[in-house]
Amino acid sequence: MQKPVLPINEDERSRAIQKLGMIYSPSEARFDRITRLACRHFDTDSALLTIVYKETQWFKSLQGLSVCSTDREISFCGHAILNEDEPLVVENALQDSRFVDNPLVMEGPKIRFYAGQPVKDSFGVVIGTLCLIDSVPRSFSKEDRQDLRDFGRLVEAEIAQPMEDSVLSRFVFSLTENQRSLLIDPIIGSWNRRGLEALLQLELQHASRKNENVSLIWVKLSSFDLLLNRFGHERIVDFSKFTASIIRDNLPKGAGIGSLGADSFVAVCSGMPADLVSRLIEQLKLQFSQLTLETHGVKALVDVEIHYLTLSGQDLKGTAVQVVDKLLTLV
């Protein structure tokens, strides 16, 4: 196996990635939409937005995989970032001496095809890739390469957008990478309970100062145990990620989402009028009512409960732990 070498501007890359705050940070709908579209467009097993940083490649957005990162020394993307502008294409990893004995080829996810387009920040520094992987060899035409470049440019356009000044963004940048890693559920791509409560505490304080409200929306997979027994852990984890992505897609900018386990998610929205909260809940109910889970011809309806709690005035003076506990009594 050939390990990727470090780019000559590795220190500059590290500083650029640190400035973006994308390592150990929650998934974002704007990136998930692009990886989802890329996965469908190219009809591959997986599409990912990877950030190659220090000894790790971190998956900022991913479709089709249930891991959040891999070691950089075995990564394909570690090689792809050296290309600057052109995608790295490996049509059959078993016929490529650089990768034939790579653990990602020999073991799960058994990569055979890989295509990775380098992704840059607004200053032209390569921070990672938008990549495609598949478990079977594939050809990749000149037109395919251009399409992948275009998808990469869409990612770069999002990265170049100014960061919205919100409690959520300030929370992310107030944390060190190590702190973020302890507050993230990396598989689901959301804050874990500790992260949710830390964010909520800041939202409560901000809303109290601004005389605004804070709404919490709790989405619970009430049929989780039944689905787990029928479909197994790996399939249910994928579905939990999908559930979180549905919630994330419907949230307004600046709203955060946390997971209380694979079957329970809480969205935190500040300053939303009551009618917009009601409309958001109805949108979620409609989308979840149309969901089924199917594997190997076995199909099951998904039963979802949605509860919400809106706080204002003196209710904002409580602690985040108390507020979450109160929310969970609404079943």
CATH number of the domain where residue 90 is located: 3.30.450.40
Whose tokens are 């990569």? That residue is 111
Question: Looking at the structure, do residues 16 and 104 belong to the same domain, yes or no?
Answer: yes
Q: 5: part of which helix (H) or strand (E)?
A: none
Q: Which of 249-263, 284-298, 309-323 has the lowest mean pLDDT?
A: 284-298
How far apart CA 10 and CA 314 sit, in angstroms, is 50
How far apart CA 32 and CA 134 sit, in angstroms, is 18
Residue 319's pLDDT band (boundaries 50, 70, 90)? very high
Q: What are phi and psi of 71, to 5 degrees?
A: -65, 140
Model confidence, pTM: 0.92
Do 74 and 1 meet the contact criterion of CB atoms below 8 Å apart? yes
DSSP type of residue 11: H
Q: 58: part of which helix (H) or strand (E)?
A: strand 56-63
Handedness of CA 158, 164, 170, 174 (dihedral sign): positive
Question: Looking at the structure, do residues 218 and 127 belong to the same domain, yes or no?
Answer: no
pLDDT higher than threshold 90 for residue 324: yes
pLDDT of residue 222: 82
Q: Is residue 173 one of the residues assigned to a domain? A: yes
Question: Looking at the structure, do residues 195 and 286 belong to the same domain, yes or no?
Answer: yes
Q: Is residue 3 one of the residues assigned to a domain? A: no
Q: Is residue 2 one of the residues assigned to a domain? A: no
124-134 pLDDT tens trace: 999 999 999 99
Q: Is residue 87 one of the residues assigned to a domain? A: yes
Question: Looking at the structure, do residues 129 and 185 belong to the same domain, yes or no?
Answer: no
Range of the domain at 194: 167-327
The two tokens of residue 181 are 């890693």
Question: Looking at the structure, do residues 184 and 271 belong to the same domain, yes or no?
Answer: yes
218-261 pLDDT tens trace: 999 887 777 777 777 777 787 888 899 999 999 998 999 999 98
For residues 84 and 46, which has the higher predicted lDDT (pLDDT)? 46
Arithmetic mean of pLDDT, 284-296: 79
Last residue of a domain, one of 92, 124, 159: 159
How far apart CA 293 and CA 289 sit, in angstroms, is 12
For residues 115 and 68, which has the higher predicted lDDT (pLDDT)? 115
Question: Looking at the structure, do residues 228 and 305 belong to the same domain, yes or no?
Answer: yes
Question: Looking at the structure, do residues 103 and 67 belong to the same domain, yes or no?
Answer: yes
The chain-wide mean pLDDT, for the chain, equals: 93
How far apart CA 73 and CA 94 sit, in angstroms, is 18
Question: Looking at the structure, do residues 49 and 186 belong to the same domain, yes or no?
Answer: no
Do 326 and 319 meet the contact criterion of CB atoms below 8 Å apart? no
Question: Looking at the structure, do residues 84 and 136 belong to the same domain, yes or no?
Answer: yes
pLDDT of residue 58: 94
Residue 296's pLDDT band (boundaries 50, 70, 90)? low
User: CB neighbours of 100 closer than 8 A, spacing ≥ 6?
Assistant: 1, 93, 94
Last residue of a domain, one of 159, 182, 198: 159
Last residue of a domain, one of 128, 159, 190: 159
**pLDDT > 90 fraction of the chain, expressed in percent and rounded:** 80
69 SS3 class: strand
pLDDT of residue 67: 85
Compute CA distances 237 → 36, 104, 224, 263, 288, whole Å.
Answer: 17, 21, 11, 9, 17
pLDDT of residue 298: 61
Q: How many domains does the chain have?
A: 2
pLDDT of residue 297: 60
